[in-house]
């Protein structure tokens, strides 16, 4: 378990270093995800311990957004002044994005008979 947790941290650390060194427009953890993915490709399978560690982290993924979400208290006034444009944009644009992505993907894969 500890070994695989170290592996995940190491992937992230290398990711952070690569992003900074090459000034990439992608966050370090996303590069770390690519690195771990490459590791799994080379190893041709998910070791049991890694499966356990990743399941533990991902089962509680939404919890990890709570501290940043609480940052809303820093901006009550700013948000209050622009409540209408913010609400309208977030709701309509998010729904539209989900609809366009889902319909495009569903349409393109249906064409190939692969659902």
**Span 71-90, contacts to another protein by CB under 8 A:** 71-75, 78-79, 82, 84-86, 88-90
CA distances from 68 to 64, 72, 101 (A): 8, 8, 26
Would you tell me how many other CB atoms lie within 10 Å of the CB of residue 20?
10
Could you say which residues in the range 28-47 bind another protein, by CB under 8 A?
28-30, 32-37, 39-41, 46
Please report whether residue 17 would count as binding another protein according to CB under 8 A: no
Instruction: Copy the structure tokens of residue 47.
Output: 């070791």
Give the total residue count for the chain.
115
Task: Please say which residue, 22 or 105, places its beta carbon nearer to another protein.
Answer: 105
Which of 2, 62, 80, 113 binds another protein (CB under 8 A)? It is 62
């Amino acid at each position: 378990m500890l070994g695989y947790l170290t592996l995940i941290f190491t992937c992230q650390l290398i990711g952070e270093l690569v992003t900074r060194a090459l000034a990439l427009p992608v966050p370090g953890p996303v590069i770390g995800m690519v690195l771990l993915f490459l590791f799994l490709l080379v190893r041709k399978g998910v070791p049991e311990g890694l499966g356990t560690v990743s399941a533990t982290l991902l089962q509680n993924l939404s919890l990890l957004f709570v501290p940043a979400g609480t940052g809303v208290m820093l901006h009550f006034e700013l948000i209050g002044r622009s409540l209408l444009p913010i609400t309208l944009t977030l709701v309509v644009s998010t729904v539209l994005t989900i609809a366009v992505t889902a319909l495009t993907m569903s349409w393109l894969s249906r064409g190939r008979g692969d659902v």
